[in-house]
Homo-oligomer: A and B are copies of this chain.
Amino acid sequence: MKAEKNKLPSLSTCLSPSLLHLYDVSSSIVVIIDILRATSTIATALYNGAKSIIPVDSVAECIKLGKQMDVITAGERDGKIADGLKYGNTPLQYQPEFIKGKTLVLTTTNGTRLLHMALAEGAQGIITGSFCNLSAVCDYLAVQKKNVILACAAWKDRVNIEDTLFAGAVISRIKNNFHQNCDASQIAETLYHQASNDLFAFMRDKNASHYLRLMGYGLAEDIKFCLTTDNANILVVYESGRLLLR
């Protein structure tokens, strides 16, 4: 039984980009998690027909690509549309009539940076995860027979509730396919079981910092959308500089 367990790939949770160096990224598939709102927006835009999404680290790079290519440029800093960009990071904006067939260049505070960190560390594969595509993420990971790191984008490296909850949701669904030796995963799963009945209410009752920030901008509908399971249930993979539906 033990030997069999040891044959299983490992499943770990990294609660902040500042902790990524502790994990064996180069032997793992890394799931980028930025629930509010980058990875929710990414899933939604691709689900609604975007051709691809180019994640970039800086606003300047975003603007530059916008001038060179026929793309939509979007991004936020500190939860608001970044200066010089026209579109933000609200998934509700990326409806089919707006995004279908288009390429989106996106920069966000936390998620795109983490993606490039995982890339620099030589991740075997990179996908993005959000409640919007939870089932697709889980179905994919469960059968890869590869180590998985659930990598939370956090908020400026501070651990946050919503990314941790998503890690917990994934763990609760697919843990039997993996070997686990990660306290952070146990913490995430315990948190998720406390919250799963009503994620929005949990975020509200716990005064989640990003909940308060986005509510302050009047974005309750964004939060609710980002906490809804499988409303854009497609698999998003990172390949050759682009996020694509697969």
- Copies per assembly: 2
With a cutoff of 8 Å between Cβ atoms, the chain B residues found around residue A157 in the complex are 19, 22
Q: Please tell me if the beta carbons of A159 and B184 are within 8 angstroms of each other in the complex.
A: yes
With a cutoff of 8 Å between Cβ atoms, the chain B residues found around residue A160 in the complex are 183
- Interchain nearest-CB distance for A183 vs B (Å): 5
**Binary contact track A178-221/B, C-beta < 8 Å → 1, others 0:** 00111110110011001000000000001111101000000000
Say whether A115 faces chain B, with CB atoms less than 8 Å apart: no
With a cutoff of 8 Å between Cβ atoms, the chain B residues found around residue A187 in the complex are 159, 161, 164, 187, 191
- Interchain nearest-CB distance for A158 vs B (Å): 6
Q: Tell me the bound Cα distance from A53 to B182 in angstroms.
A: 32
**Binary contact track A154-174/B, C-beta < 8 Å → 1, others 0:** 011111110010000000000
Q: Please tell me if the beta carbons of A207 and B186 are within 8 angstroms of each other in the complex.
A: yes
Say whether A15 faces chain B, with CB atoms less than 8 Å apart: yes
Q: Among the listed B21, B164, B182, B207, which residue makes an inter-chain contact with A180, where contact means beta carbons less than 8 Å apart?
A: B207
Q: Tell me the bound Cα distance from A159 to B187 in angstroms.
A: 9
Q: Please tell me if the beta carbons of B156 and A183 are within 8 angstroms of each other in the complex.
A: no
With a cutoff of 8 Å between Cβ atoms, the chain B residues found around residue A194 in the complex are 190, 194
With a cutoff of 8 Å between Cβ atoms, the chain B residues found around residue A182 in the complex are 158, 209
The interface size of chain A toward B, counting residues with CB under 8 Å, comes to 30
Q: Tell me the bound Cα distance from A210 to B206 in angstroms.
A: 28
With a cutoff of 8 Å between Cβ atoms, the chain B residues found around residue A206 in the complex are 183, 186, 190
With a cutoff of 8 Å between Cβ atoms, the chain B residues found around residue A16 in the complex are 16, 18-19
- Interchain nearest-CB distance for A197 vs B (Å): 14
Interface residues of A (CB under 8 A from B): 15-16, 18-19, 21-22, 155-161, 164, 180-184, 186-187, 190-191, 194, 206-210, 212
Q: Which 5 A-B pairs have the closest CB atoms?
A: A186-B206, A161-B183, A159-B184, A160-B183, A183-B209
25 chain-A/chain-B pairs, Cβ below 8 angstroms: A15-B15, A15-B159, A16-B16, A16-B18, A16-B19, A18-B19, A18-B22, A19-B158, A19-B159, A22-B157, A22-B158, A158-B184, A159-B183, A159-B187, A161-B183, A161-B187, A181-B209, A183-B208, A183-B209, A186-B206, A187-B187, A187-B191, A190-B190, A190-B194, A194-B194
